[in-house]
Amino acid sequence: MGELIIAKTVKEVRDQVSAWRKEGLTVGLVPTMGYLHEGHASLVDKAVSMCDRVVASDFVNPTQFGPGEDLESYPRDFEHDCALLKEHGCNMVFYPSVDEMYPDGNGKTDTYVEILDDMPKQLCGKTRPIHFRGVCTVVSKLFNIVLPDKAFFGQKDAQQLAIIKRMVRDLSYGIEIVGCPIVREADGLAKSSRNTYLNDAERQAALCLSRAVFAGMDMVKAGEKNADTVVGMMKDIIEKEPLAKIDYVSSVDAVTMADVHEIKAPVLFAMAVYIGKTRLIDNFITE
């Protein structure tokens, strides 16, 4: 197991990355909000396999949380995160304070990166209107700090991945975005830091998301071409679960996030569902 460098300042990251660059080494970035699990570990594994050095960021980004969301209660365990990152061969973790990332204080900034078309207004953007502006802003900052060759994101957050790809294209970041498959628990639930909020009954109830995803996949595999029919069937499955409340179940173009009703080009079937007070997401993309 190699050494894991813990960097708390932008300068420490810049100095270390430029030293690696002088040696001619390539650098991969894995942005996270910490409380790491095997989903995050799979991104690190992928990064280690494709880059000479890997930097993970561990930062609960205030600008992507709306009022009344779980910014304060978001789970944190930096010691555990470091152990996981070390075990998976990550070379450096960037663990900044809020003030280090947002020098104006209190997680405030007057400069944002925002995609102005409908892409961030779809799906999660309907109930989280400032979310993707915060994500694009913090990921831009991380790109400018680390200057990676490649950055790794999970398909679990499919809209985020599509938006980051669009941002990289629109702002000419010379960074390759690598999407990684969803890692699930043995019973199907997509791994998420927020799963820790679930009590036993909710944990059982949460399986309705992956059940709907798998049933949707099967229906498409069996030849269904009407996306609304697939969405309807997925909704039926979730609505049978008394502890579940649907935020959305939708079918959109996998690249543009525009609504689709017919399966021709790759379609993203995505959902957000409240299980009790916990909002969980899951999805699949057709071929």
- Of 190 and 252, which CB lies nearer to ligand AMP in the complex structure? 190
135: Cα separation from own chain's centroid:
9
Name residue 88's amino acid.
H
Q: How many residues does the chain have?
A: 287
156 binds ligand AMP (CB under 6 A): yes
Nearest alpha carbon to residue 127 among 74, 166, 175, 69: 69
Residues 7, 16 contacting (CB under 8 angstroms):
yes
Minimum gap (Å) between residue 161 Cβ and ligand AMP: 7
Q: Which residues sit opposite 251 in a β-bridge? A: 269
> Which residue type occupies 241?
E
26 Cβ partners below 8 Å, 6+ apart? Answer: 51, 52, 53, 149, 150
Per-residue binder mask for ligand AMP (CB under 6 A), 202-221, x = binder = --------------------
Residue 42 interacting with ligand AMP (CB under 6 A)? yes
Among 62, 125, 148, 154, binds ligand AMP (CB under 6 A): 154
Taking the least distance from each CB to ligand AMP, the nearer of 58 and 227 is 58
Shortest distance, CB of residue 191 to ligand AMP, whole angstroms?
A: 4
Binding span for ligand AMP by CB under 6 A among 38-46, 94-102, 238-246, 266-274:
38-46
Q: Decide if 15 contacts 94 (C-beta within 8 A).
A: no
**C-alpha–C-alpha distance, residues 76 and 126, integer Å:** 27
> How much of the chain is helix, strand and coil, in % rounded to 5?
40, 20, 35
32 touching ligand AMP, by CB under 6 A: yes
Cα–Cα distance list, 140 to 134, 151, 240, 281 (Å): 10, 11, 41, 24
Query: For residue 248, what are the β-bridge partners?
Result: 272
Q: Is 163 an interacting residue with respect to ligand AMP (CB under 6 A)?
A: no
40 flagged as catalytic: yes
CA distance linking residue 154 with residue 140, whole number of Å: 17
- Least Å distance, CB 74 to ligand AMP, is 9
Q: Does residue 241 bind ligand AMP (CB under 6 A)?
A: no
Kindly state whether residue 283 participates in binding ligand AMP, applying the rule CB under 6 A: no
**Is position 63 an interface residue for ligand AMP (rule: CB under 6 A)?**
no
Q: Which of 33, 71, 219, 243 binds ligand AMP (CB under 6 A)?
A: 33
By beta-carbon proximity to ligand AMP, the closer residue of 120 and 154 is 154
Asked if 190 touches ligand AMP (CB under 6 A), the answer is yes
Binding site for ligand AMP (CB under 6 A): 32-33, 39-40, 42-43, 153-154, 156-157, 180, 182-183, 190-193
- Kindly list the catalytic residues: 40
